[in-house]
């Protein structure tokens, strides 16, 4: 009598992605954190723009030592990847910036997004528990 093999869990082996390449569960989790970080940054920046009718920028920190300036710091920590990418793509189009500058800004925004996405994932899992 032939028995079926038990299903492989994600933590037991690499995940098969279309047969082309295998990704470890940690890589998939990092990719989700990266996507969630960019999505959260876009959500915050777009919400700010909808509420104030002007785009979010790092100039929120240049208003002097007021409570609104200190309140902008947590907002900018999570919205920064979107602001960096928006400013980079806009500068590439209008100022004709070099490819290297755009690449470095994209890597910085990606790493920042990965970190903020990891914080968002940890916060959601803490609330879920």
Predicted local confidence at residue 20, as pLDDT: 56
User: pLDDT per residue over 20-77, tens digit each?
Assistant: 567 788 988 999 999 999 999 999 999 999 999 999 999 988 878 888 888 889 999 9
SS3 content of the chain, % helix, strand, coil (to 5): 70, 5, 25
- 74, 123 contact by CB (below 8 A): no
Residue 79 structure tokens: 């919205």
How far is the C-alpha of 59 from the C-alpha of 57, rounded, in Å? 5
Among 55-64, 89-98, 120-129, the minimum mean pLDDT is found in 89-98
pLDDT, tens digit, for every residue of 100-118? 888 999 999 999 999 999 9
């Amino acid at each position: 009598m032939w028995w079926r093999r038990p299903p492989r869990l994600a933590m037991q082996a690499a995940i098969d992605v279309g047969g082309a390449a295998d990704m470890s569960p940690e890589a998939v989790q990092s990719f989700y954190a990266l996507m969630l970080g960019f999505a959260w940054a876009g959500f915050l920046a777009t919400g700010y723009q909808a509420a104030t009718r002007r785009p979010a920028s790092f100039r929120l920190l240049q208003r002097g030592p007021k409570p609104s300036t200190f309140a902008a710091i947590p907002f900018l920590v999570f919205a920064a990847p979107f602001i960096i990418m928006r400013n980079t793509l806009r500068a590439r189009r209008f100022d004709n910036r070099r490819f290297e500058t755009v690449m470095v800004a994209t890597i910085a925004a990606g790493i920042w997004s990965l970190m903020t996405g990891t914080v968002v994932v940890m916060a959601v899992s803490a609330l879920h528990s």
